[in-house]
Structure 1
């Protein structure tokens, strides 16, 4: 099952992609796609729906973040051996955990705003895990039972702020529009093994990242177990799981994003994203 939220920013409505690939409006069935509506029983009710009578929405509509009211975004760094090497970092013995601000969330096709002080804007294709039921100190064997679904994420990063401005990574990861999610939230029954998904990212049509979730250092179940030991994961929280090699920082010489560049990315079964890099023209 592929769940979406569509419409203008701040006015998104819940939807579902039917078997013919059409977007159906779920507004008459559920208030929104959020923590309280993505537990197992709620998803079973949506799965049992006869959607043939629900309104079909024009393909041109904007798709927003596929889950509303995200409480927190927990991110994992250096979770692919080759990416750790290209970053000049040791292979982690434990997961590297950082946070992205929820204000960085945006839709899969929304523009990426280049911060005014940005000099090292970078990309990272990642698998996102959306939590469906409260997870606190869960076992690894039970970890995936807490998953509502998976999604495609671009962990947009400003490396100067991340690595050269002191403190933690978070400030280089949390600018507005630095966390495009979607286009869909895909339930686990459609994905099967989350450790066998091909990943890719292009910049201006040139392939930069090619990878597979099979090459994670710490698998999805391990990450949920680990993170749930140090913080409670709530329904609707998003856990993003690291990126394969091929980021701009790792190029020789490094390559970074500029206004006008176009980033496209995808993960098998989770759809594709497209972002255009734009200047920050907003007022203070």
Structure 2
């Protein structure tokens, strides 16, 4: 059974200022999403599932239904604030989405095979998709997941701070800890993150970080359902609380219910966190196109 690509595209791009998921960055107006799908098809994926919001579904489908028709099976699921388990009610005033864990959970009824989950606005590179495809062929199981790791120094923005999941691994490249660090930026003396009390701590350039490129067995969905209920019981009243997928995986590692391999892929990464990032992304894709990694006309 071919694996599925799950693309998390329901975010509204608050720092970017618009729907960055559909920003044109390729020579013929291609989006970053299309390069991910192109790489996934080459790596042997059989289906793509988009997690979006109903508020921009028509605009989104107008692009991808046409461009991906006949290339790969396409499905859509919707992440809405009121999509909660039975017995739970959306708190008054809640505006922030429930997070990446909730987004992935929205696909539980349409995915029954191993799947990769990625961000819509990140360019991960062909080698990363091939690496995760190889993982699906050789290693994935009901309690063995995977994550493509990137070096921190290659995941920063010149135009503002970023948040990254900083990883620790054992001697077999199994993930043993993942810590969410916010407000990461490069300064003259190195790379630093700023914590809640505004104190700065340095980070190593070659630290392995998660860019939310995960490889999962469909057993994940049962764990997501259980943990999301626990999250809601504890944090539903907090208006900015989020149910992050790295936290879900780390909890499974702590309890011994699953483990995650950190997969190294010699791939470039870039993304559009801020409007100023777009120019860099366009230039990088142009270089890859000129080098023959991608065709001038993607489809």
Q: Tell me the TM-score normalized by structure 1.
A: 0.26
Q: Point out the structure with the larger helix share.
A: 2
Q: Tell me the TM-score normalized by structure 2.
A: 0.25
